[in-house]
Amino acid sequence: MNQSAPKVSLYKFEGGKGGDVDLSPTLFSGPVNKDLLYRAVRTYLMNLRQGTHATKTRSQVAGGGKKPWPQKHTGNARHGSRRSPIWRKGGIVFGPHPKEYNYGLPKKMQRGALRSALVAKLQDQQLHVIDKISYEKPKTKEGLKLLSGLGFPKSDKFKNEVLIVVSQKEYSRPVKKTFANLPWTKCVETNSVNTYDVLKYENLLVTQQALPELEARCKLA
């Protein structure tokens, strides 16, 4: 059974609307798999952890080569090293050590999670399509003007408002730098889109040229 292609309004880079654009039913149809979304977000956050926390054991603490005092006839308890864990600035017992938190997710599940995130944005009416985004020189004022014209006012609390996805050809230095100084936006190319960012940002703005690239990326092998 053929699925009807969902439609959204197409915005123009110069301003205004240019009718509707048909979205791929392969990419923007089907149920939202919340379990896949949870797994993808969990994997992304776990892979951000550096795991560089560490403490020194008694063998790694400097000093302590000499016995603090004679074994007997001093009235003090017997000690063999100042690096002992019971001494101040001594070694740490059972402290944290460098660890890898990397967690892998099968590619098929990664693609499914990204597809579910895109479908969720479409269902929540938070998916917006623009014909193109192109700048000759980076200028934050122009980027702010574009987003304001599309109905994305600057948030006073700097909330995560807009994730901008452009095609690989459109992702140039002027485009990237135009939105770099807007803390409530993030501009990425199609190869860098991940499920976490799609869910994190309230709105998703995609260029028309980026749509087939997203479909190719989410297509199951």
DSSP result, 110-176: HHHHHHHHHHHHHHTT-EEEES----SS--HHHHHHHHHHTT-PPPTT----EEEEE-TTT--HHHH
**How high does pLDDT run on average in the chain?**
90
Q: What are the tens digits of pLDDT across the range 73-97?
A: 999 999 999 999 999 999 999 999 9
Predicted pLDDT of residue 1 = 44
> What superfamily in CATH does domain 7-33+105-218 come from?
Ribosomal protein L4/L1 (3.40.1370.10)
In the numeric block, which tokens belong to residue 219?
Answer: 């297509």
Who wins on pLDDT, 205 or 65? 205
Predicted pLDDT of residue 16 = 82
The least confident of 24-33, 103-112, 152-161, 172-181 is 152-161
Domain segments of the chain as ranges: 7-33+105-218, 50-100
Predicted TM-score (pTM) of this structure? 0.82
- Give dist(CA 170, CA 147) in Å, integer: 17
